[in-house]
Structure 1
Amino acid sequence: MNDNVFRRVQARMILLAVDESGMSTVEYAIGTVAAAAFGAILYTVVTGDSIVSALTNIITRALNTNV
Structure 2
Amino acid sequence: MKTARNSVRRVPNGAVSDKPIAVRLHPEELERFKSRAAREQRSMASVLRLAALRGLDECDRTNTLLAS
Class of the TM-score when normalised by the shorter of the 2 chains: 0.3 to 0.5
Write 1 or 2 for the structure with the bigger share of helix: 1
TM-score by length of 2: 0.35
Determine which structure has greater relative contact order: mean sequence separation of CA pairs < 8 Å that are 6+ residues apart, divided by chain length: 2
TM-score, scaled to structure 1: 0.35
